[in-house]
A and B are shown apart, each in its own frame.
Chain A
């Protein structure tokens, strides 16, 4: 580390000036990056923030001269400052020896999806050893030693054994740690992290960001962090540059960006960011006098418990373990959990698209009767599905690309015989208006719409049969921040107008806080805590909930919550 110690902290180590990149597509040219400029300083983190299509990933890769075959760098300089010598990276050939020495040697890169970013057929150890031998000229034995040391530094338990394991044997968080180890193997001056924690759970995200921050400080690296999550930016970054449609629209120190933004887009982004402190003002405070509209008791789902040829039912997985809760009329209940918590399965169990192993689901439509959904026959289920509807996560795969919007939204009406022909058309028009779309859109096909618009179509379809309950399964998780806020507001409005009850399933606690009245927290199939949204988020009782809440990054650099979180051990 002598090299780094000699430099003063805060030295500019990479300067990007007027960078522009064009993509030559089949029918037109996309100006993906336009006149982008920023500086990276040793020991400091610059966050490049933007939504999808902003050009941030393209920029990051261009720094390493990794350029897509359809792309052209049309202008700009990327000046790397090492030991006083300045090199313009843009002048180096894409496959030249110089740039290859810089890749991994001076600049390290870690990505978003560790599963597909690491080779599936090689061991973790061999991939790290390869990087070491490439840049630090080590022989096999010392490279192996160093690999184990690196794995230890990134806090992977039992590093000597894990080095010989394959990628798919690691969990998501561990893979990301391994990626970090690989990127840092050759002691680079700059670390580029492209959405490093987007695919991870909240608690794992906190651990990884913590680790990266500590390593950055101890090695004195400059970091370029690419993300769309403003919470992460507030917790980790020193400076921020906001990108939109290829341009940087605003840049500055993190505190100023969050507390005194100037550009309209930045303000818009900040305004759309949901926070743990604030719920939506329409908190209808559910009507608890009457009987709850839906009661779940002891709902359980065990996968793979049957015995197979080879004996034992060894691989039994309890996805949902004895879940019980009530849903009151007009309220929205959030179900929050990390991956593997069982929240999605719970939603499917209620609808019985997955059959429960045990338990009851009691539905009270409000006319005094009550039915146990788990005992309903086919006809009964069909009826039930008119009252309880589902909004899906993925706006692209949840709409049949071969049907027009009218056919998609009108299908439930057609199939149940509720409306046909002209009546169907006018009802579909009504629904589209309700979700904020132009009724003329019904003649078009899904591919003509953006992700947010498609989600609106999905919501219109869910509303078609005048349901009482809507189950939203990660309905906003695939959307950009600003679109997400719009959809959430739409759902709130719809809820008020039609007096619906919601079961809102999500991994994003801030979103749940914004939208829901009460929240149920799930961990490994069990509901560990239920309470009002304020109580869960401000004063959680259970240890797991405390750990979960405290790990949520706070989009306020003056109040860093995540870095002071509590940890939960199972």
Chain B
């Protein structure tokens, strides 16, 4: 088992490198660098520009160096010093800005993940066992609907409906009165009241996919001989179902986290922009539009890393669940 973990970790490294390359490439895409746009906007607004300071910043962040040196500097700064660079727009180190936001992104994603699991497991089992029943058709239809409606449209619609019928503004994760207040049950309640919209919005597509996967896999397993053996032993129906085929059909279900997670993180990004949540998304968009490269690149890199970690966890969970993987 330990060998398996080490192997997986080793496999992750080239992917990590690849991701950092992509993130870096995206940062470099816009023509010119931040300095030029900052200078332009500063001059426009009549702010005095300290040439020396600009030159120093250019040097520290190697904006004049060839591309591969910049990449190298960027990566070594991150890995060895935890220094993600400097946000030119906000005037602060990136690390100050991102952790809180990434934390929020992570929490919403994880909440959405639990929502997805919690909803799709029972519905998936039901759909597989009672194939082609009314309930199955209803769930399939809603599942399709959930898959088809893009996140942000769903978010917009829910916002509109709750604004029109409930009269409340549902943007953000906390109402203004709780924003800076110390933690209390009321604050938690308020958080949950705001959290459900993003979680539902983000989770619907994932739920729909997982239900379909579970339904398909479980249907396959239900036809296998060991289910007949379990029945022939005299086990009651529910045990025959849960202890054996569901247990095995859970495998692809668990490994589905591997690709559901990137979707969730994606979904958080755009939904957050619409609903104005304090997560990475809105900040990322701004950073991209204003070419605040370190901020943007760090966000993209971290999101990718988050996804990889999630996939690693899902693989490990799978190994725990399925002895066949552990032993090979």
A and B touch in the complex (CB under 8 A): yes
Spot the interface stretch: A97-105, A332-340, A463-471, A487-495: A97-105
Residues in A neighbouring B228, C-beta threshold 8 A: 61, 66, 109, 111, 117
Within 8 A of B (CB), among A117-174: 117-122, 130-131, 134-135, 166, 168-169
Per-residue CB proximity of A378-398 to B under 8 Å, as 1/0?
000000000000000000000
CB <8 Å contact, A121 and B322: yes
Residues in A neighbouring B8, C-beta threshold 8 A: none
Within 8 A of B (CB), among A75-102: 95, 100-102
Chain A: CB-nearest residue to B321: A121
Q: Given that A118-B226, A118-B229, A121-B248 are contacting pairs, would A104 and B234 also be in contact in the complex, using a CB cutoff of 8 Å?
A: yes
Residues in A neighbouring B224, C-beta threshold 8 A: 116
- Interface contacts (Cβ under 8 Å), in number, total 74
Residues in B neighbouring A121, C-beta threshold 8 A: 247-248, 321-324
Residues in B neighbouring A130, C-beta threshold 8 A: 233, 235
Q: Does A223 contact B (CB under 8 A)?
A: no
Q: Does A64 contact B (CB under 8 A)?
A: yes
Chain A: CB-nearest residue to B231: A66
CB <8 Å contact, A120 and B235: no
Chain A: CB-nearest residue to B232: A109
CB of B85, distance to nearest CB on chain A (Å): 36
Using CB atoms and an 8 Å cutoff, list the residues of chain A in contact with chain B. 61, 64, 66, 95, 100-105, 108-109, 111-113, 116-122, 130-131, 134-135, 166, 168-169, 179, 182
Residues in B neighbouring A182, C-beta threshold 8 A: 229, 233
CB of A245, distance to nearest CB on chain B (Å): 23
Chain A: CB-nearest residue to B230: A119
Within 8 A of A (CB), among B216-237: 224-226, 228-237
CB <8 Å contact, B234 and A135: yes
Residues in A neighbouring B99, C-beta threshold 8 A: none
Residues in A neighbouring B229, C-beta threshold 8 A: 109, 111, 117-119, 179, 182
CB <8 Å contact, B232 and A116: no
**In the complex the two chains form, what is the Cα distance from A134 to B234 in whole Å?**
8
Q: Does B68 contact A (CB under 8 A)?
A: no
CB of A520, distance to nearest CB on chain B (Å): 34
**In the complex the two chains form, what is the Cα distance from A426 to B187 in whole Å?**
86
CB of A111, distance to nearest CB on chain B (Å): 6
Q: A119-B229, A121-B324 are in contact. List 16 more A-B contacts (CB 8 A).
A: A109-B232, A111-B228, A113-B225, A119-B226, A119-B244, A119-B247, A119-B248, A120-B323, A120-B324, A121-B321, A130-B233, A134-B234, A168-B323, A168-B324, A179-B229, A182-B233
Q: Does B183 contact A (CB under 8 A)?
A: no
Residues in B neighbouring A64, C-beta threshold 8 A: 231-232
Q: Does B72 contact A (CB under 8 A)?
A: no
Q: Given that A121-B323, A166-B327, A168-B327 are contacting pairs, would A103 and B234 also be in contact in the complex, using a CB cutoff of 8 Å?
A: yes
**In the complex the two chains form, what is the Cα distance from A135 to B235 in whole Å?**
10
CB of B209, distance to nearest CB on chain A (Å): 24
**In the complex the two chains form, what is the Cα distance from A108 to B231 in whole Å?**
11
**In the complex the two chains form, what is the Cα distance from A438 to B257 in whole Å?**
54
**In the complex the two chains form, what is the Cα distance from A101 to B323 in whole Å?**
31
Between-chain CB contacts (< 8 Å), 30 pairs: A64-B231, A66-B228, A66-B231, A95-B236, A95-B237, A102-B234, A103-B232, A104-B234, A109-B232, A111-B229, A112-B225, A116-B225, A116-B226, A117-B225, A117-B226, A117-B229, A118-B226, A119-B230, A119-B247, A120-B226, A120-B323, A121-B323, A121-B324, A122-B244, A131-B233, A134-B233, A134-B235, A166-B324, A168-B323, A182-B229
